Amino acid sequence: MTSTERSIAAAEEHSAHNYHPLPVVVATAQGAWMTDVEGRRYLDMLAGYSALNFGHGNRRLIDAARAQLDRVTLTSRAFHHDRFADFCAELAALCGMEMVLPMNTGAEAVETAVKTARKWGYRVKGVPDGRAKIVVADNNFHGRTTTIISFSTDPEARADFGPYTPGFEIVPYGDLAALEAAVDEHTVAVLLEPIQGEAGVLVPPPGYLAGVRRLTAERNVLFIADEIQSGLGRTGKTFACEHEDVVPDMYVLGKALGGGVVPVSAVVSSQDVLGVYRPGEHGSTFGGNPLACAVALEVIAILRSGEYQERATELGDHLHHELVRLTASGAVTAVRGRGLWAGIDIAPSHGTGREISERLMERRVLVKDTHGSTIRIAPPLVISKEDLDWGLEQLRAVLGS
């Protein structure tokens, strides 16, 4: 047995099978590259679903974490700590908003957004108690908690986890008329991904986000943008909403906010909205801890330079130019995305998404399939053009085009 086989067998025996990882066992990583336990190097074209936008072992982020490790790592919110105010102020400024509520994982931030919208609905909008409604889109992915999967349309994510949380209405993504019809006097929020990541990197039709903004503003409904995967540089902008010059009422952030070092998530909004909270009404033991704040502050500083947004735009243009050429070969039926982010539908004649992912792994490129026939490409934004081209060459080779 190789050490890879031993590791995988032990993982299969002792961990719940809620994932089906590719058979590679990573030992170390740097930049856009990962090295497995047998010394083989792989190009990371997934970047932890965008949690690793700034690459593995990013020097600035590791240094920020290391410096904080020697000072203080956890206080709980029972006390103030000296990185908290800066983190909240800097993140609010990056978002052009006023207030921050820090959590840890993306799902917790989405839960926080849901709770915040409901509380705002009762206390500010005047919705009768227990009647608040939140409108969401089909094919959404907002996380894995009981409430969040209650408004999922993915049978895998949802089946056998009921009873489900009420208070949500699901409309087709990208359909403004359907959204308009669903919004009523009890609606407190519309919760959307500006680009649907897990669904296969679905970009809504032009004008959709701007239309959602107009409608929600007219009806006194909060527009909540889940930018956990689309935000923080991935699409070439700090926020994917910017592509339509849209500013939502609330950003939900996670993944890259923790720099691939620690989980950091947050809800960012106005004083009117986040100001609804009183002590004791919501919280998290780890939310906004000193280590998380130190790393996220460095992430924010990196984003402020605009350097990675620019890379995502330039390399993304190149990526999409190359991918569109693959559709001509017949191996690929559709390519979607924005910036350094793409969903590629593989023609059934050329294999499933999983099979393509496995063949790419044999060629030392790591990607992840989604929904059967789609593979997703989202390398760290630090990737060089040469490495990206090499990765695309491997993709062309496995597709035989």
Ligand X SMILES: *Cc1c(COP(=O)(O)O)cnc(C)c1O
* Stretch binding ligand X (CB under 6 A), from 91-99, 226-234, 271-279, 393-401: 226-234
Indicate which residue of 87, 141, 239, 286 is catalytic: 141
Tokens of 372: 């059967």
H or E element: which one contains 53? Answer: none
254 φ/ψ angles, rounded to the nearest 5 degrees: -170, -140
Please name the residue that has the structure tokens 């700590």.
Answer: 81
Contacts of 118 (CB under 8 A, 6+ apart): 132, 134, 167, 188
Residue (of 108, 109, 134) closest to 120 by Cα position: 134
Task: Please tell me the distance from the alpha carbon of residue 84 to that of residue 102, in angstroms, as a whole number.
Answer: 10
Residue (of 204, 201, 138) closest to 344 by Cα position: 201
Indicate which residue of 119, 237, 255, 368 is catalytic: 255
Q: Shortest gap between Cβ of 106 and ligand X (angstroms)? A: 2
Q: Shortest gap between Cβ of 375 and ligand X (angstroms)? A: 16
Indicate which residue of 36, 226, 345, 369 is catalytic: 226
- From the list 121, 254, 343, 379, which residue makes contact with ligand X (rule: CB under 6 A)? 254
Q: Which is nearer to ligand X, 49 or 151 (CB)?
A: 49
- From the list 226, 249, 298, 369, which residue makes contact with ligand X (rule: CB under 6 A)? 226
Q: Which is nearer to ligand X, 149 or 302 (CB)?
A: 149
Tokens of 300: 């924010």
Q: Which is nearer to ligand X, 194 or 290 (CB)?
A: 194
DSSP 29: E
Task: Tell me if 44 contacts ligand X by CB under 6 A.
Answer: no
Cβ burial of 67 (10 Å; 0-12, 13-18, 19+) is exposed
Q: Which is nearer to ligand X, 250 or 326 (CB)?
A: 250
The residues in 329-358 that bind ligand X, with binding defined as CB under 6 A, are none
141 is catalytic: yes
Asked whether 250 and 99 are in contact (CB, 8 A), the reply is: no
Q: What is the per-residue binding string for ligand X in 97-126, x denoting contact by CB under 6 A?
A: --------xxx--x----------------
The residues in 180-199 that bind ligand X, with binding defined as CB under 6 A, are 193, 197
Asked whether 271 and 252 are in contact (CB, 8 A), the reply is: no
Task: Tell me if 229 contacts ligand X by CB under 6 A.
Answer: yes
Tokens of 126: 């005047």
Q: Shortest gap between Cβ of 255 and ligand X (angstroms)? A: 6
HEC per residue, 168-234: EEEECCCCHHHHHHHCCCCEEEEEECCCECCCCCECCCCCHHHHHHHHHHHCCCEEEEECCCCCCCC
Q: Which is nearer to ligand X, 226 or 298 (CB)?
A: 226
The residues in 129-158 that bind ligand X, with binding defined as CB under 6 A, are 141-143
Q: Which is nearer to ligand X, 226 or 322 (CB)?
A: 226
Residues that bind ligand X (rule: CB under 6 A) add up to a total of 15
Residues with a catalytic annotation lie at 141, 226, 255
Q: Report the interface residues with ligand X, using CB under 6 A.
A: 49, 105-107, 110, 141-143, 193, 197, 226, 228-229, 254-255
